[in-house]
C-alpha cells in the first residue's frame, strides 16, 4: 500500500458504512468473543471437574486479569486511535512514532506486571475476596496463569493495532487461534490428564503464548509502512498522547476490576448472614462475570471495529460519517443486549447449568442473581460503545467521565450503601440501578457531542460551497 494515502484513496473516508462495519466489526467481534473463551472455558471445565469452589477460585483471580486487560486497552486503543487520526490528517511520521512507542510501552509494562503479581499473589487474592476455602485453589490458578499475562498484554494491544492497520481478519486469527487451542488443552489437561485447576491454568498460559507469537509475526509485514528498530522506544510526547486517548478505556476496565473486588467482598460478607453462606454467592458471581464477559466482548468488539472508521473520519473532518457510524453501532449493540436480557430472564437455570452442578441453594441464588443484578442488561449496548466513540474521536474528557460513571461514580457507592439497609438483596439491586443511570448519562453526552459536530459540519460545508 502506498505510504502517502489520501482521504480519497482510503476507503475509510468514502466507502459505504455498512460494508466497512462488516469488514472491521465482524472480525473484531469474533476476536473479542473467542478471546473471552480463555476464561469461559476455564469456568465450564473447572465447574464440572473441580466444582463450585473451583468456580469461586477463578472468580477471585479474575480481577487481576481485568487489570491487565485495562493496560492492553490503555496502550492498544490509545495507539490505534492516534495512529488512525494521524493518517486521516495525513501526518504519517506521527503515525510511525505512535506505533513504535505503543509497542515498546507494551513490553515494559508486561514484564513489570508479571513481577508484581508473582510478588504479591496472596495479598491480591485476599483483597479480591478469597475466603479460607477458596484461597488455596486461587493461589494455584493465579500462580500459573501469571506466566501468560505479559503475552496476553501484548496480544491484546497488538490485535488492536493490527486491526487499525487494516487487517481485521488477521487480528481475529491471532485471538481465535489461541482460544481454540485453550479449549482443546482444557479438555486434554482436565479430562484426560486429570490435572485439575493446575491444568486449566496451564492451558490458558500456553494459549496466550500462541496468540502472542502470531501477533509478533504480523509486524514485519505491516501494511501502512515498514516498522524498523529505530521506531521503537518510548517517546515521551507520544506516550502522553497515547495515554490520554487510552485513559477512558483503561478507567473503564480498571473500575470494572474495582467493582469485582467490592462485589466479591460484599457477596461474601452479606451472604454469610443468609442461608447461602459465603461461597455460593462468590461462585455464582464468578459464573455471571464470565457471562458478562461475553456481552462485553461483543459490544467492545463492535466498538473497536468502528474505531478505525471513526478515527480516520474525525481526522478528515467527515463529521456526518462519524455520527452515522456511531448510530449504526448502537443499533447493533442494543439488539444483542435485548437478546441477552431475554435469555437471563426466562432461562437462568439453563444458563447456569452450563457451568457445572450445584445444590438447590446454589441454583436458587443463581436464578435470583441473573434476574435481578442483570435486569438492565438490555441497556448494555450503549455505554461501552459510547466510551469507545469518544476515545476514537479524541474527546478525552467525555470518555473519561463516562468510563468512570457507571462503575465508579454510580455502582460502587450503591454497592456500599444499599446493602446496609437491604443486606444481600441490596447488593443485587445495585446492578440494574447503576446500569439505568449510566445509560441516561450516555444518551445525554452523545446528544451534546452531536450538536457540536453538526455545527462543525455546517462550517465545513459553508467553506467548501
More confident residue, 59 or 414: 414
Residues 6+ apart with CB under 8 A from 420: 426
pLDDT of residue 157: 93
pLDDT of residue 182: 87
| pLDDT beyond 90 at 229 | no
Rounded to 5°, the CA angle 417-418-422 comes to 135
The model's confidence at residue 38, banded by pLDDT at 50, 70 and 90, is low
pLDDT of residue 39: 62
Residues 34 and 298 sit within 8 Å (Cβ to Cβ): no
SS3 call for 223: coil
| Contacts of the segment 349-357: beta carbons below 8 A, 24+ positions apart | 351/291, 352/284, 352/287, 354/44, 355/43, 355/44, 355/47, 355/55, 355/287, 355/290, 356/44, 356/46, 356/47, 356/48, 356/51, 356/52, 356/55, 357/47, 357/48
| pLDDT beyond 50 at 1 | no
Query: Percent of the chain beyond pLDDT 70?
Result: 96
| pLDDT beyond 50 at 3 | no
pLDDT of residue 4: 41
Closest CA to 182 of 41, 290, 61: 41
The model's confidence at residue 35, banded by pLDDT at 50, 70 and 90, is low
| pLDDT beyond 70 at 107 | yes
Residues 65 and 296 sit within 8 Å (Cβ to Cβ): no
The model's confidence at residue 166, banded by pLDDT at 50, 70 and 90, is confident
Residues 6+ apart with CB under 8 A from 391: 77, 78, 81, 245, 246, 248, 249, 307, 399
pLDDT of residue 171: 87
Q: What is the pLDDT of residues 391-406, one digit of tens each?
A: 788 787 887 788 777 7
- pTM value? 0.70
Closest CA to 91 of 1, 7, 159: 7
The secondary structure of 423-445 as a DSSP string is: THHHHHHHHHHHHHHHHHHHHHH
Closest CA to 175 of 208, 151, 217: 208
| pLDDT beyond 90 at 274 | yes
Q: What is the pLDDT of residues 63-102, one digit of tens each?
A: 898 889 889 989 998 999 899 888 877 888 889 999 999 9
Amino acid at each position: 500500500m502506498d505510504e502517502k494515502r489520501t482521504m480519497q484513496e482510503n476507503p475509510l473516508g468514502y466507502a459505504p458504512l455498512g460494508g466497512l462495519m462488516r469488514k472491521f466489526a465482524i472480525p473484531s467481534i469474533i476476536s473479542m468473543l473467542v478471546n473471552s473463551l480463555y476464561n469461559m472455558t476455564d469456568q465450564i471445565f473447572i465447574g464440572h471437574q473441580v466444582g463450585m469452589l473451583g468456580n469461586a477460585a477463578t472468580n477471585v483471580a479474575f480481577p487481576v486479569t481485568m487489570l491487565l486487560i485495562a493496560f492492553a486497552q490503555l496502550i492498544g486503543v490509545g495507539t490505534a486511535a492516534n495512529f488512525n487520526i494521524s493518517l486521516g490528517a495525513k501526518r504519517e511520521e506521527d503515525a510511525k512514532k505512535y506505533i513504535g512507542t505503543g509497542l515498546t510501552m507494551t513490553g515494559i509494562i508486561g514484564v513489570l506486571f508479571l513481577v508484581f503479581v508473582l510478588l504479591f499473589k496472596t495479598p491480591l487474592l485476599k483483597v479480591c475476596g478469597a475466603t479460607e476455602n477458596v484461597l488455596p485453589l486461587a493461589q494455584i490458578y493465579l500462580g500459573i496463569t501469571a506466566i501468560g499475562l505479559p503475552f496476553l498484554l501484548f496480544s491484546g494491544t497488538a490485535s488492536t493495532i493490527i486491526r487499525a492497520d487494516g487487517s481485521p481478519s488477521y487480528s481475529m486469527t491471532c485471538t481465535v487461534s489461541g482460544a481454540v487451542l485453550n479449549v482443546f488443552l482444557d479438555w486434554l489437561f482436565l479430562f484426560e490428564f486429570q490435572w485439575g485447576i493446575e491444568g486449566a491454568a496451564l492451558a490458558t498460559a500456553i494459549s496466550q503464548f500462541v496468540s502472542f507469537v502470531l501477533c509478533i509475526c504480523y509486524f514485519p509485514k505491516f501494511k501502512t509502512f515498514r516498522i524498523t528498530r529505530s521506531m521503537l522506544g518510548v517517546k515521551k510526547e507520544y506516550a502522553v498522547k497515547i495515554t490520554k486517548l487510552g485513559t477512558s478505556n483503561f478507567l473503564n476496565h480498571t473500575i470494572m476490576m474495582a467493582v469485582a473486588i467490592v462485589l466479591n467482598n460484599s457477596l461474601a460478607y452479606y451472604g454469610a448472614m443468609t442461608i447461602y453462606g459465603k461461597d455460593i454467592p462468590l461462585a455464582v458471581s464468578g459464573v455471571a462475570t464470565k457471562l458478562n464477559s461475553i456481552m462485553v466482548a461483543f459490544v467492545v468488539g463492535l466498538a473497536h471495529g468502528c474505531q478505525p472508521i471513526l478515527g480516520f473520519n474525525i481526522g478528515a473532518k467527515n463529521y456526518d460519517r462519524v455520527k452515522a457510524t456511531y448510530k449504526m453501532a448502537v443499533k447493533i449493540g442494543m439488539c444483542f443486549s435485548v437478546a441477552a436480557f431475554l435469555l437471563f430472564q426466562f432461562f437462568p437455570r439453563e444458563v447456569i447449568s452450563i457451568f457445572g452442578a450445584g445444590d438447590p441453594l446454589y441454583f436458587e441464588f443463581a436464578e435470583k442473581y441473573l434476574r435481578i443484578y442483570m435486569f438492565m442488561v438490555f441497556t448494555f449496548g450503549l455505554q461501552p460503545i459510547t466510551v469507545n466513540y469518544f476515545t476514537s474521536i479524541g474527546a478525552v474528557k467525555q470518555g473519561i467521565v463516562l468510563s468512570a460513571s457507571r462503575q465508579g461514580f454510580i455502582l460502587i457507592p450503591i454497592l456500599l450503601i444499599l446493602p446496609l439497609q437491604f443486606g444481600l438483596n441490596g447488593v443485587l439491586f445495585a446492578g440494574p440501578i447503576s446500569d439505568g443511570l449510566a445509560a441516561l448519562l450516555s444518551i445525554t453526552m452523545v446528544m451534546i457531542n452531536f450538536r457540536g459536530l453538526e455545527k462543525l459540519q455546517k462550517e465545513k460545508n459553508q467553506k467548501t460551497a
